[in-house]
Structure 1
Amino acid sequence: MPTENQPERAFIVLSLKHTHRRHKAITLWRANDSGYCWPLERAGVYAESLVLERLGYYNSGCSNIAVPADLVKRLVVDIEYDTKEFGICLPNNAKTWKQLLSAVIHKPDYPSRPEYRGVRYAKEAA
């Protein structure tokens, strides 16, 4: 939590549920829980206190995670999506996910298993 001299940190929520192996970019939540996007300029920025208040919603692990906005800003690149649009987005690859997963606001209740080209997961027992 922020102190009087320290401002509250900002977070961006990433959607594991809406990011698929075929996507070039990681899907981000828009502001006020109002949908999804790929470009950083359209992503919502969430206050640390709000995310911590509702960890199960914003940081469940299996469907979404909250990561520091400053880290996201360092990792974005210019990507052309499949729709021929351009934008500054988070690349959907192993290197990016490794950094994002190590910076999650709080260890989620469920394991995060992002989909990106080349990822392999062991089959779970039925």
Structure 2
Amino acid sequence: MDAASFIVVAVCHTTRDHHYITLWRPDNNGYTPVVPRAGRYSAEQIARHLDYYNSGYHVAVPAALVEQLGVEPPAGFFDYAGPAVPNSAANWKLILDSAPWLTNYPPEPEHFRKRRRNE
């Protein structure tokens, strides 16, 4: 694993009406759905602060998986380009199954409970 091999997925900031899963930006500085704009965090960073990075409301997962799940959104969907991870039950299952650390609270993505409001 490289030094910055994890992306923090914001379970609590992704709602069922979001088309794409919300990710943390670099340096714990906000959120983005666009994979290239997401922060990369080391295993050491995550392990030192599991309550922060991996509470269940947020989940640290391998960056390679998130990058693999990214797809190009329709032109003009975001005002900046780059792949994003679709908010689907299948993607949430892959993400949660890949989390290497246990969380304090069970992660409960909204997409699992109901379909998006606009579907």
- Change beyond 3 A, Cα 1:104–1:89: same
For 1:35, the equivalent position in structure 2 comes to: 30
Instruction: State yes or no: 1:120 paired with 2:97.
Output: no
Tell me the SS of whatever aligns to 2:82: strand
Residue of structure 1 equivalent to 2:77: 84
Structure (1/2) with the larger helix percentage: 2
SS at match of 2:7: strand
State yes or no: 1:74 paired with 2:68.
Answer: yes
Q: Distance in 1 between matches of 2:2 and 2:66?
A: 18
**8 Å Cα contact 2:4/2:40 also seen in 1:** no
Q: Which of these two proteins has the greater Rg computed from alpha carbons?
A: 1
Asked if the contact 1:13/1:67 (under 8 Å) is kept, the reply is: yes
Give secondary structure in 2 for the equivalent of 1:88: coil
TM-score calculated relative to the size of structure 2? 0.86
Larger fraction in strand? 1
Alignment partners' CA distance in 1, 2:64 and 2:5:
8
Q: What's the Cα RMSD here? A: 1.9
How many residues in Structure 1 have an aligned counterpart in Structure 2?
A: 112
Q: How many percent identity over aligned positions?
A: 39
Please report how far the alpha carbon of residue 78 of structure 1 lies from its aligned counterpart in structure 2 after TM superposition: 1.1
Residue aligned with 1:24, SS: coil
Q: State the 4+ residue runs in structure 1 displaced beyond 2 angstroms.
A: 6-9
In the alignment, does 2:9 pair up with 1:24? no
1:50-97 CA distance string (max 9 Å, x none) = 000000000001x1000000111111111239x732530011001100
Q: Is the 8 A contact 2:72 2:82 kept in 1?
A: yes
Structure 1 9/43 Cα, relative in aligned 2: closer, same or farther at 3 Å? closer
- Could you tell me how far 1:9 is from its partner in structure 2? 5.8
Which structure 2 segments of 5+ residues have no match?
Answer: 115-119
